[in-house]
Amino acid sequence: MIEVNELSKVYVKNNEEVIVLKDICLRIDEGEFVSVMAPSGMGKSTLLNILGCLDKPTGGTYTLDGVSVEGMDDDELSRTRNKKIGFVFQSFHLLPRMKAWENVTLPLIYSDTDSNMKEKAGAALNEVGLGDRVEHLPRELSGGQQQRVAIARALINDPRIIFADEPTGNLDSASGTEVMRIFKELHRKGRTLVLVTHDMETALQSDRIIEMRDGGIVADRTVEAPTEVTK
Amino acid sequence: MRLLGMGKQAVAALADNKSRTFLMMLGIVIGVATLTIITSSVLGARAKVMKNVGKFGFDQIAVFAGSGKKLGVFRSLDVTTLTLEDAEAMEAEIGNIREVTPQINRRNVPVKHGNLSSYATLVCANPNWSSVWQTRAARGRFISDEDVSRLARVAVIGETMVEDLFAGRDPVGEQILINNLPFKVIGILEKRGTSPAGVDMDGRILIPLSTGQKRVFNIDHLGMIKVALKDPAKMDATVGDVAALLRERHRIQAGTEDDFTIVTPTQAMTMASKISSSFTLFLVLVSAVSLIVGAIVIANIMFIGVNERRAEIGIRRAVGAKKQDILIQFLIESLMVAVGGGIIGVVTGLLGLKGLSFFMKFPSALMWQPIVLALFCAILVGLLAGIQPARKAAGMNPVEALK
Ligand SMILES: Nc1ncnc2c1ncn2[C@@H]1O[C@H](COP(=O)(O)OP(=O)(O)OP(=O)(O)O)[C@@H](O)[C@H]1O
Ligand SMILES: [Mg+2]
């Protein structure tokens, strides 16, 4: 699914190079549920954004679903994000003036299939347990509910892979648990998931943990018995 | 992404910050309103002039006695060089001339009937005046050749004269005094309204040219000769022929000014359209300044909006919006502001026109051209003002936008 070789990201600031990622080699197979862990500022988000085709690396190669990403122009990257990738962010990133279902339809707006949008959005919201919040505005929803709207949005175009950058970071533990339960469910249905987290307890619910330090991967281990989420 | 959906989203975004949207529209509203007023009045004035020039006759020229004749200004009869013989020579010698009608026009001639009196525009002319000027006798009859040869004291009078001297009663067969001379009313002229120069065309009284020359003014010369051409396409050449003929007949030395003035339909048109050009210039300035200010305001507020909506831009990009989608989204917003402002501006302008014509005599007409022009300008302003902010939005790095 994902194959990364000697990937690097370097920022040049005031004539000084800031190396955020260096020589990252990584392979993630279809259907895996991977956690990326590292202390703050270690480049987790940067890596996730590159894998999500939102950011471009300064070096190395990246193959997504058998297609080389370096060769893609901006429109192709956009199309890839639209069709193959779903994003979930720490701060939800919903559009405040749009109702829940309208937020969910956003990826549909930018794809060719924008018929029955409300129906599809309703089904996606149902899937995350928000079938009764379709007409609500983000500010009328709790944080956990907002994050579930964001997950529904990530799912609407039926992407192969979902990238989540600290999706439970802004949530209380009950809401966080609910979000993780949804992720586990998606994983069970065969979706590939890459999750950035600070929290070991969260990481242990996935089946593989990658640890980063100083721009490189320092540990990559399989979780023998991923924790089941209990309600 | 379909345009309808984008339109809806743009409306939502604009409705989200109404005072800002209002501010963005204001310059456009003022600019477009003044533009509507200008174009409506200019076109209105032009249409009116064209109509009157149409009456003047596109296949006709006028030769006035004296140099530097201005349209609508009646000169005194002291230039004596233009004569009936000139008119006859023109008709005989210049091939492209179909017909000439020599005449003497005189304004503010005292007229009387019983104890009612008024002032008329006295026109002394031959019977063919009627066909050349396309003004017939609506009732009674027109001047005949016999009237001319007998120096008959007969008059065909306009509707205003019928009102002034007969209080609307049938005047045919009655006597009136023109310049204290008794004339018999033989007919009433068709109603003609007001000329572009503001002359009441129904205040005219027609008498035979011979009667006017010999009995009223006691002169041998003419005030003007109206010339109808066979082929109006050869107007310039004919004007040259007429000028050459008259200079020869009047023995005007080379290098000396003409003692006559030839007015063509195009000249008549430009003379009449010079009216109120400074007012138009003022409005053009107001309109241009407002549109430019409007564009700057829209651009600046759009830039602020783009900065404030970084997160939105980032989200849209993250879920698959192409740069072009973002560009179009912001362009549609600026276009909507401009077109909305344009529509409000057109309505304001049309109301303004109504208001203006209430206070002064304002030539205006409800026409589609000013509306189309104004909306076109609004769209142009919207595009020009929106393009830079929209490009900024489209070019934003999605990762930075989401931070
Ligand atoms: N535009 C930039 N210019 C320079 N340095 C940058 C830029 N963007 C990010 N960085 C640096 O890259 C490093 C990694 O940032 P990143 O956001 O990926 O970290 P993170 O692991 O996600 O941290 P956190 O846990 O706080 O989210 C940081 O040290 C940051 O200062
Ligand atoms: Mg981060």
Q: Does position B319 have pLDDT exceeding 60, yes or no?
A: yes
Q: Which ligand is nearest to the CA of A43?
A: 1
CA Rg, chain B, in Å? Answer: 32
Q: Does position B274 have pLDDT exceeding 60, yes or no?
A: no
Spatial strand order in the sheet of A216-222: A85-88, A161-165, A192-197, A33-37, A208-213, A216-222
Enumerate residues 6+ apart whose C-beta is below 8 A from B295.
B27, B381, B384, B385
| Rounded Cα distance, B102 and B212, in Å | 12
Enumerate residues 6+ apart whose C-beta is below 8 A from A153.
A86, A94, A103, A104, A106, A107, A124, B319
Query: From ligand 2's centre to the CA of B87, what distance in Å?
Result: 99
Q: Would the CB of A41 count as within 6 Å of ligand 1?
A: yes
| Rounded Cα distance, A109 and A102, in Å | 10
| Rounded Cα distance, A157 and B320, in Å | 10
CB A100 within 8 A of CB A134: yes
Give the residue from B206, B238, B258 where a domain finishes. B258
Query: From ligand 1's centre to the CA of A46, what distance in Å?
Result: 7
A45 pLDDT band (50/70/90 cuts)? very high
- Does B29 share its domain with B109? no
The residue that leads in pLDDT, A119 or B366, is A119
Q: Would the CB of A44 count as within 6 Å of ligand 1?
A: yes
- Does B111 share its domain with B210? yes
Provide mean pLDDT across the span B266-272.
Answer: 65
B390 pLDDT band (50/70/90 cuts)? very high
Q: Would the CB of A136 count as within 6 Å of ligand 1?
A: no
- Nearest residue, CB atoms, A110 vs list B13, B312, B319: B319
Contact call for B325 and A89, based on CB within 8 A: no
- Does B202 share its domain with B314? no
Give pTM, 2 decimals. Answer: 0.71
- Nearest residue, CB atoms, B318 vs list A81, A83, A98: A81
- Does B293 share its domain with B371? yes
Percentage of residues in chain A with pLDDT exceeding 70? Answer: 98
- Does B278 share its domain with B387? yes
Instruction: Count how many domains chain B has.
Output: 2
- What pLDDT does residue B3 have? 72
Chains A and B: how many Cβ contacts under 8 Å? 64
Provide mean pLDDT across the span B323-341.
Answer: 92
- Does B302 share its domain with B201? no
Provide mean pLDDT across the span B59-82.
Answer: 73
- Does B134 share its domain with B242? yes
CB A75 within 8 A of CB A134: no
CB-based burial of residue B29 (10 Å sphere; 0-12 exposed, 13-18 middle, 19+ buried)? buried
Q: Does position B54 have pLDDT exceeding 70, yes or no?
A: no
Virtual CA dihedral for B142, B147, B149, B151, nearest 10 degrees?
-120
Q: Does position A123 have pLDDT exceeding 80, yes or no?
A: yes
The residue that leads in pLDDT, B401 or B5, is B401
A77 pLDDT band (50/70/90 cuts)? very high
CA distance B312 to chain A (A): 6
Does residue B111 lie in a domain region? yes
CATH superfamily of A29-56+83-222: P-loop containing nucleotide triphosphate hydrolases (3.40.50.300)
Location of structure tokens 């192409």:
B322
B361 pLDDT band (50/70/90 cuts)? low
- Closest CA in chain A for residue B316: A106
Q: Would the CB of A155 count as within 6 Å of ligand 1?
A: no
CA distance A226 to chain B (A): 30
Angle at A22 between CA A16 and CA A25, to 5 degrees: 165
Does residue B62 lie in a domain region? no
| Rounded Cα distance, B102 and A198, in Å | 106
- What pLDDT does residue B72 have? 47
Q: Does position B299 have pLDDT exceeding 80, yes or no?
A: yes
Does residue B265 lie in a domain region? no
Tens of pLDDT, residues B80-130: 889 999 999 999 999 999 999 999 998 889 999 999 999 999 999 999 999
Give the residue from B258, B289, B322 where a domain finishes. B258
CB-based burial of residue A121 (10 Å sphere; 0-12 exposed, 13-18 middle, 19+ buried)? buried
- Does B111 share its domain with B187? yes
- Does B190 share its domain with B301? no
What letter represents residue B203's amino acid? G
- Does B226 share its domain with B85? yes
Q: What is the mean pLDDT of chain B?
A: 86
Closest atom of ligand 1 relative to the A49 alpha carbon:
18
Tens of pLDDT, residues A161-185: 999 999 999 999 999 999 999 999 9
- Domain enclosing residue B128, as ranges: 67-258
Q: Would the CB of A46 count as within 6 Å of ligand 1?
A: yes
| Rounded Cα distance, B401 and B403, in Å | 6
Query: From ligand 1's centre to the CA of A26, what distance in Å?
Result: 20
Q: Which ligand is nearest to the CA of A44?
A: 1
- Does B99 share its domain with B242? yes
Does residue B75 lie in a domain region? yes
Give the residue from B258, B282, B298 where a domain finishes. B258
| Rounded Cα distance, A92 and B321, in Å | 18
Task: Return the residue whose CA atom lies nearest to atom 5 of ligand 1.
Answer: A11
- Does B254 share its domain with B276? no
Q: Does position B164 have pLDDT exceeding 80, yes or no?
A: yes
- What pLDDT does residue B333 have? 92
Closest atom of ligand 1 relative to the A38 alpha carbon:
21
Tens of pLDDT, residues A138-152: 999 999 999 999 999
Count Cβ neighbours within 10 Å for each residue of B269-285 and write b for 16 or more, e otherwise: bebbbeebeeebeebee
- What pLDDT does residue B52 have? 62
Q: Which of A16, A45, A56, A196 to mutate to test the pocket of ligand 1 (most atoms within 8 A of CB)?
A: A45
Pairing outcome for strands B175-178 and B97-113: antiparallel
Q: Would the CB of A38 count as within 6 Å of ligand 1?
A: yes
Q: Does position B272 have pLDDT exceeding 60, yes or no?
A: no
Q: What is the ipTM of this complex?
A: 0.95
The residue that leads in pLDDT, B204 or B364, is B204
Q: Does position B25 have pLDDT exceeding 60, yes or no?
A: yes
